[in-house]
């Protein structure tokens, strides 16, 4: 039971960290620092939970009103992983953007 949090951290944390390093490298205003990477990973976890819950709620509402459901189909797992990836991307970019707007980037701090 105590291994589950470590499993989740490795299973989701490592790909989010790799995704964060790629995004931080590609955005010119952000630098690949440990602080930015940790903020991206935290935002990625928050984005995963927020978007997955929002999509689940939306699908339950649609299924209850239109008598349509997607239970038991093989494409559900792939759709879930796509939602998780989009949530990690949006959450990580969003929290890193907020951090850079509130505290500024490292380049701005060096010049002041």
pTM of the predicted protein model: 0.77
Residue % of the chain over a pLDDT of 70? 81
Which comes out higher in pLDDT, residue 95 or 69?
Answer: 95
Phi, psi of 102 (to 5 degrees): -80, -45
Q: Quote the domain boundaries for residue 82.
A: 34-105
* Any domain includes 48: yes
Task: Kindly state whether residue 3 falls inside one of the protein's structural domains.
Answer: no
> Is 43 within the bounds of a domain?
yes
Phi/psi of residue 60, nearest 5 degrees: -70, -40
pLDDT above 70: residue 71 = no
Q: How far apart are CA 10 and CA 30, in angstroms?
A: 25
Residue 96 pLDDT exceeds 70:
yes
Residue 26, domain member (yes or no):
no
For residue 5, is it within any domain?
no
DSSP 11: I
Domain presence at residue 50: yes
Determine, yes or no, domain membership for 54.
yes
To the nearest 10°, report the CA torsion of 7, 13, 19, 24: -160
Number of domains in the chain: 1
Provide the pLDDT confidence category of residue 56 given band limits of 50, 70 and 90.
confident
pLDDT band at 26 (very low <50, low <70, confident <90, very high): very high
Q: How many other CB atoms sit within 10 Å of the CB of residue 100?
A: 18
With cut-offs at 50, 70 and 90, classify the pLDDT of residue 7.
confident
Residue 1 covered by a domain: no
Please check the confidence at residue 23 and state whether its pLDDT lies above 80.
yes
């Amino acid at each position: 039971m105590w291994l589950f949090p470590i499993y989740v951290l490795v299973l989701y944390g490592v790909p989010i960290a790799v995704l964060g390093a790629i995004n931080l490298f590609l955005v010119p205003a952000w630098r690949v620092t440990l602080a930015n990477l940790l903020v991206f990973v935290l935002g990625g976890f928050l984005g995963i939970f927020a978007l997955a819950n929002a999509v689940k709620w939306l699908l339950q509402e649609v299924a209850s009103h239109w008598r349509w459901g997607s239970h038991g189909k093989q494409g559900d797992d792939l759709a879930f992983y796509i939602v998780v990836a989009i949530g990690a991307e949006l959450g990580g970019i969003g929290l890193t953007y907020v951090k850079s707007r509130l505290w500024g980037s490292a380049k701005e701090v060096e010049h002041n």
